[in-house]
Amino acid sequence: MSSFLDKIKGKAEESKDDSTQKEGRREKKPVGFIQLDVDVVQTREDFIIYALVPGVQIEDLDIAIEEDNDIITIQGKRLKPEVNPQDKSKKSNEDITSIKQELQWGAFYRQIILPQEVNFNGVEARLNKGVLAIKLPLLKIEGVGKKRINVKS
């Protein structure tokens, strides 16, 4: 089993030219995506990833764990609301002038390298009041503890 540092080095090598090799074809990394800010915490039993995604609908979220069970990808889109939803007159975009724009709208994307493999059958994701929480139980190898090894001659 490779170490966490080996995984990071391998992923860095793959992304040197801003593309990755998968199944004989080259795939470009997403361009024009907002990087989703996250907090990652670890307990004895799991990792928990928190992300603020206010206004994002569940159907606009896509969360996946890669086949090596060590990278989680979170992507989705944050749609800009109508200027005044109560106003039934259709205003064109030319009638609207932005005074200040600090919010980020559009597609977001984040990949997180997990320092340890997780049991993807037990992964849970919840969206509550604009906070996404993903619980990733650590993969436990049964029967591992202290084992006495007999030396033979």
Within 10 A of 59 (CB to CB), how many other CB atoms are there?
7
Question: With the CA atoms of 47, 52, 55 and 60 taken in that order, what torsion angle do they form, in degrees rounded to the nearest 10?
Answer: -40
pLDDT value at residue 28: 47
Which residues touch 25 (CB under 8 Å, ≥6 apart)?
none
Query: In degrees rounded to 5, what are phi and psi of residue 60?
Result: -95, 5
Which amino acid is it at 32?
Answer: G
> Is the residue at 53 inside a domain?
yes
pLDDT value at residue 89: 59
CATH number of the domain within which 70 lies: 2.60.40.790
Q: What average pLDDT does range 32-55 have in this prediction? A: 91
Note the helical H segments in the chain: 4-14
Total number of domains constituting the chain: 1
- Structure pTM? 0.66
- Tokens encoding 35: 């990087």
Q: What is the pLDDT of residues 130-145, one digit of tens each?
A: 999 999 999 876 655 5
> Is the residue at 87 inside a domain?
no
Summary mean pLDDT of the chain: 75
Is 60 exceeded by the pLDDT of residue 153? Answer: no
For residue 54, give its domain range.
35-81+103-140
